[in-house]
Amino acid sequence: MDKIMLNGMRFYGYHGLFPEENKLGQEFIVDAELFLDLHKPGSSDDMNDSIDYGRVFEMVKERVEGQAKNLIEALAEEVAQDLFTTFSLLKACKIRITKPNPPIAGHYDSVAAEIYREREK
């Protein structure tokens, strides 16, 4: 299926279980894959036939920089639901939220949660 991808969106938020995460905050990186038929917008060259990824960016930003969640899994679910509510053309989405520097002792690149959701019929 065709898709629009927004990769490496960076925001600052206060999500996490640890008090220092809620107080100090940290960077979050969000990747979104939006699955929809791109034949019509590819032929018409009309934004009304597609999904405005500038608007997607602003929606994700509002969610990540908004009310704190304990889990990035919950944050990903909210982002997906916002997208389905706003964009009727969206058939499915994959949302990945990465914490590059969570307060966990050890050596690793990052931690992330990724969900794939399809529109309910």
How far is Cα 14 from Cα 69, in angstroms, rounded to an integer?
8
Catalytic residue among 23, 91, 99, 121: 99
pLDDT the model gives residue 106: 84
94 is catalytic: no
Architecture of domain 3-118: 2-Layer Sandwich (3.30)
35-67 per-position pLDDT tens digit: 999 999 999 999 999 999 999 999 999 999 999
Q: What is the amino acid identity at position 107?
A: H
Kindly tell me the burial class for residue 83, based on how many C-beta atoms sit within 10 Å of its own C-beta (0-12, 13-18, 19 or more): buried
Residue 10 or 108, more confident: 10
Radius of gyration of the chain (CA): 15
Domain locations in the chain as residue ranges: 3-118
pLDDT in tens, 63-90: 999 999 999 999 999 999 999 999 999 9
Tokens 């969206």 correspond to what residue? 90
Q: What is the pTM of this model?
A: 0.93
| Residues paired with residue 115 on neighbouring β-strands, in sequence order | 95
Q: Tokens representing 47?
A: 């934004």
